[in-house]
Amino acid sequence: MDSNDKAFSALGYVGILFLIPLLAGKTEFTRFHANQGLVLFIADVASGIIIGILSAILGFIPIFGAILAGIISGLLGLAIFVLMILGIVHAVQGEMKPLPVIGGITIIK
C-alpha cells in the first residue's frame, strides 16, 4: 500500500468523498475504507433525518423539547465526528480496523 492509498482512504471519511477511495483505489485497503466511509455517510444522513423528526415532535413541548432536541443533536453530531476522526487515523496509519458500532456493516465488497 502506498501513500496515495492512505490519502484516498482518509478522504473517504469526509461525507460524500467516500467516492474517492471507491473510484480511485483498487486495493482491498481502499475498498475497506470506502465501505467504512459510506456506512458513516449513511449514518450521518440517517441521524439528520432522525433529528429532524425528533425536533418536530419535541417542538410541541415548550422550552424543554427544544433543549432536549439540541442535546440529542449535539451528541449524535459529536459521535459522527469522533467516528470520522477515528476512521481517518486508522486510514493514515495503514490499519483496517472497523469503526465502533457501525464498522461491522458491509455494503462495498
| Cα distance between residue 29 and residue 105, in whole Å | 16
In a domain, 88, yes or no: yes
In a domain, 76, yes or no: yes
In a domain, 107, yes or no: no
| Cα distance between residue 11 and residue 13, in whole Å | 5
Total domains present in the chain: 1
In a domain, 63, yes or no: yes
Helices 64-92 & 28-58, crossing angle to 10 degrees? 180
> What is the extent of the structural domain holding 81?
3-92
Q: For 41-89, write each residue's pLDDT tens digit.
A: 999 999 999 999 999 998 888 888 889 989 999 999 999 999 999 999 9
Q: For 1-38, write each residue's pLDDT tens digit.
A: 678 889 999 999 998 988 888 888 789 999 999 999 99
In a domain, 106, yes or no: no
In a domain, 35, yes or no: yes
